[in-house]
Homo-oligomer: A and B are copies of this chain.
Amino acid sequence: MLYIVGLGLGDERDITVRGLDAVRSCSKIYMEAYTSLLSLGLDPAALANLEKLYGKEITVADREMVEERVDQVLSEAADTDVAFLVVGDPFGATTHTDLVVRAKKMGVEVKVIHNASVMNAIGVCGLQLYRYGETISIPFFTDEWRPDSFYEKIQNNRQLGLHTLCLLDIRVKEPTWESLARGKKVYEPPRFMTVNTAISQLFEVEEARGGYAYRRETLCIGVARLGSDDQKIVAGPMEKLLDVDFGPPLHCLIIVGETHPLEEEMLEFYMIK
For chain A, residues 144 to 200, give those with C-beta under 8 angstroms from any C-beta of chain B: 156, 160, 162, 167
Q: Is A98 an interface residue (CB 8 A)?
A: yes
Contacts of A112 in B (CB 8 A): 124
Decide: A134 and B137 in contact? CB cutoff 8 A: no
Interface size on A, residues (CB 8 A): 57
Q: Tell me whether A70 is interfacial, beta carbon within 8 Å.
A: no
Q: Identify A116's interface contact among B21, B116, B269, CB under 8 A.
A: B116
Chain B residues with Cβ below 8 Å from A130 are: 93, 134-137, 167
Copies of this protein, total: 2
Which residue from B97, B126, B137 sits with its C-beta under 8 Å from A262?
A: B97
Taking CB as reference atom, which chain B residue is nearest A91? B123
A97 and B8 in contact, given A131-B134, A162-B134 (Cβ under 8 angstroms): no
Q: Which listed residue, B8, B16, B119, B128, touches A95 by the CB 8 Å rule? A: B128
Are B18 and A17 within 8 A (Cβ)?
A: no
Chain B residues in 8 Å Cβ range of A13: 16-18, 21
B-chain residues with CB within 8 Å of residue A14 when the two chains form the complex = 16-18, 114
Interface string of A229-265 (1 = CB under 8 A from B): 0000000000000000000000000000000001101
- Contact: B116 with A6, CB < 8 Å? yes
Task: Say whether A98 contacts B262, CB under 8 Å.
Answer: yes
What is the distance, in angstroms, from A7's C-beta to the closest C-beta of chain B? 10
Show 18 A/B contacts (Cβ-Cβ < 8 Å), sorted by A: A8-B115, A13-B16, A13-B17, A14-B16, A17-B53, A89-B116, A89-B121, A91-B124, A92-B129, A95-B128, A97-B126, A114-B116, A114-B227, A116-B116, A116-B117, A116-B120, A130-B137, A130-B167
Residues of A that sit less than 8 Å from B by CB: 6, 8-10, 12-18, 20-21, 53, 89-93, 95, 97-98, 100-101, 104, 112, 114-117, 119-124, 126, 128-137, 156, 160, 162, 167, 227, 262-263, 265-266, 269
Extra pairs beyond A12-B17, A97-B263, A97-B265 (9, CB < 8 Å): A91-B124, A97-B128, A100-B266, A112-B124, A114-B124, A119-B120, A130-B134, A132-B135, A133-B134
